[in-house]
Copies of this chain bind each other. A is one copy, B any other.
């Protein structure tokens, strides 16, 4: 938020490097992709269900969510994206969007033409694989969220969400400690975990009382990483990051 918005595609390169190895020439090829920069307000739609697009959106700063709306009333958050994420990659190969993409905070994005992405992936096979590796890894995150909703109770869901966001923010270079600064509202946490705001609130109190987290207005800090990991049944393997053990966690099992 306070940090200046990036004016290059560097966050995208940084993101791909979490899961793939890229040569300098390949990195430069990515940085030289034609693109258009834009800033958007909170709640702005990057794309709406049913729309088509000939640009691939890359998130350069801020937070974004994939959402669906149930019968015009309640919204559900399907995924949360951090800076560097290639939120628009699926649109390169699909016709109409099957969900919305909405800004959770003020964001800056880059639009890259589909054709440029396709050409790049054909020229540099390694980049193509890096791009698709990210898509496949996002599928793994979806599966974990399915499991989260299907088999875990309120406390586990919230703890798991906090763990995931913490690890991903750390990997994205947004913070260095096992805890993190995060301005997500309880309403949004409810939308992401299939709960109600009221119950999210009570669940957070529970975690707070057990000394796992502390909350302040617009920020949550993780006090006991191993404890929260246990409470959330969290195993970061599904994120498919390069191995990078966290401080304070003796094991990732």
Please give the residue numbers on chain A whose beta carbons come within 8 Å of chain B beta carbons, in ascending order.
50, 66, 68, 70-71, 74, 76, 78-79, 89-90, 93-96, 98-99, 122, 125, 128-129, 132-133, 135-140, 142-147, 149-152, 193-194, 233, 237-238, 240
A133 in contact with B94 (CB, 8 Å): yes
Residue of B nearest to A193 (CB): B150
A140: contacting residue among B94, B122, B150, CB under 8 A: B94
State the CA gap A70–B151 with chains docked (Å).
7
State the CA gap A78–B145 with chains docked (Å).
10
A133 in contact with B93 (CB, 8 Å): yes
A240: contacting residue among B50, B95, B132, B144, CB under 8 A: B95
Count the copies.
Answer: 2
B152 in contact with A70 (CB, 8 Å): yes
A-B contact pairs, 18 of them (CB 8 A): A68-B147, A70-B147, A76-B146, A76-B147, A90-B140, A93-B136, A95-B240, A98-B143, A99-B143, A99-B238, A132-B132, A132-B135, A135-B135, A139-B139, A139-B142, A145-B146, A146-B146, A151-B194
A237 in contact with B68 (CB, 8 Å): no
B71 in contact with A139 (CB, 8 Å): no
Residue with the greatest number of chain B CB neighbours at <10 A, chosen from A132, A133, A194, A233: A132
A233 in contact with B151 (CB, 8 Å): no
A78: contacting residue among B76, B79, B136, B146, CB under 8 A: B146
A129: contacting residue among B93, B99, B129, CB under 8 A: B93
Collect the chain B residues with CB atoms within 8 Å of residue A133's CB.
93-94
Collect the chain B residues with CB atoms within 8 Å of residue A78's CB.
143, 146-147
